[in-house]
Amino acid sequence: MECSIPKKIFAFIETKPEEKIYEVCITLKDVPGAVSKTAEILSAANANLRTSTLFDAVEQDNTGYWTSFIDVSKAKKNIGQIEKEIRNLDVVKDVRIVRPKPLNYDVIHFPIKFGNSTAMIMPVELFGSLFEETEKILTPSGFAAVFYNAGKKSGTYITQLNMMRYGLAGEDLVAALRQSTQALGWGQIKEIKLDMSRPFCTLKIEKCFEAVLRGRRKEAACHWTRGFIAGFLSPVVGKPLEAIELKCAAAGDELCEFEISTRMQ
């Protein structure tokens, strides 16, 4: 499935100096029309909805949170009046409003959840610093081995989680690999061919995060990614797999291409 629409994580927004930003978290009853009723109040007040997120409340049944960054620099009503009108709605359980300072970070929600797991957000540049500093300490082969093995462990864990928690198997697990790689920002799988009988797999990734981070090199650079793929597919086929990188965008190739089999070539 092709996708070229970038997605911003609800954690921080860039703003202009003249904007007056508030973070608004509204606890809503899980009933039809709850969001639209609330949005009508913001619209009538001429409050500009910059970005928002809506999700179920884990700790409360039939309840959801709608959290938004709003700009009230041109609003017809002050933030206190807007809050009062929202609170008076029959679909609203609670309202929390904060003006984030000194930067426009999400200061209301913690911890961050990825499904049922606790997660963290790390800008890709910080991964670059991790790779760079680790590579200074280890030899090239040692660096490759450390990140490859770490990737394998991560991949196996994710597959086992998908199998136990969601009951996935076979082709559904392979489809989940494609989904998760894109959704988590690691890259876009453009082609995956898996022969379960051998087993043998070839896989091509566009904009692999490791290749993007590590720049132009003479050799393949995506050690964590190839480890992750090998670790992910091993429980799928029921045998330990290894992966090599045949082509790498960091080395000037158009795509990163991997070959996965029962032994390292």
| Tens-digit pLDDT profile for residues 184-224 | 999 999 999 999 999 999 999 999 999 999 878 889 999 99
**What's the CATH number where 249 sits?**
3.30.1380.20
pTM value?
A: 0.86
Residues 132 and 251 in one domain: yes
Residue 102 has pLDDT above 60, yes or no: yes
Tell me, yes or no, whether 13 lies in a domain: no
Residues 133 and 218 in one domain: yes
Listed residue (217, 202, 201) closest to 249, CA to CA: 217
Q: List the strands of the sheet with 48-56, edge to edge.
A: 48-56, 63-71, 21-29, 92-98
Residue 15: its pLDDT value, please? 93
Residue 13: its pLDDT value, please? 95
Tell me, yes or no, whether 2 lies in a domain: no
Tell me, yes or no, whether 12 lies in a domain: no
Q: What is the pLDDT of residues 106-115, one digit of tens each?
A: 999 999 988 8
Distance CA 68, CA 18 (A): 18
Residues 93 and 219 in one domain: no
Tell me, yes or no, whether 198 lies in a domain: yes
Q: What is the pLDDT of residues 64-87, one digit of tens each?
A: 999 999 999 999 999 999 999 999
Residues 240 and 170 in one domain: yes
Count of domains for the chain: 2
Residue 125: its pLDDT value, please? 85
Listed residue (172, 148, 144) closest to 159, CA to CA: 172
Residues 31 and 91 in one domain: yes
130's CB contacts (< 8 A; 6+ apart) are none
Phi and psi of 224, rounded to 5°?
Answer: -65, -40
Please give the angle made by the CA atoms of 243, 245 and 251, to the nearest 5 degrees: 160
Distance CA 164, CA 116 (A): 13
Residue 27: its pLDDT value, please? 97
Residues 214 and 138 in one domain: yes
Residue 263 has pLDDT above 70, yes or no: yes
**Where a domain ends, among 119, 135, 152?**
119
Domain that holds residue 102: 21-119
Residues 131 and 160 in one domain: yes
Model confidence at 2, pLDDT cuts 50, 70, 90, reads: low
Q: For residue 232, what are the CA distances in angstroms to 43, 47, 182, 238, 264?
A: 47, 46, 15, 11, 16
Residue 161: its pLDDT value, please? 92
Residue 264: its pLDDT value, please? 59
Residue 150: its pLDDT value, please? 96
Q: What is the pLDDT of residues 146-192, one digit of tens each?
A: 999 999 999 999 999 999 999 999 999 999 999 999 999 999 999 99
Tell me, yes or no, whether 247 lies in a domain: yes
Type of residue at 33: G
**Where a domain ends, among 119, 134, 167?**
119
Residue 3: its pLDDT value, please? 55
The average confidence (pLDDT) of the chain is: 93
**Where a domain ends, among 119, 136, 161?**
119
Question: DSSP state, 47?
Answer: -
**What's the CATH number where 45 sits?**
3.30.70.260
Residues 145 and 247 in one domain: yes
Residue 25 has pLDDT above 80, yes or no: yes
Q: How is the chain split among helix, strand and coil, in percent rounded to 5?
A: 35, 25, 35
Tell me, yes or no, whether 74 lies in a domain: yes
Q: Sign of the CA dihedral 166, 172, 177, 180? A: negative
Residues 81 and 146 in one domain: no
Share of the chain above pLDDT 90, in %: 82
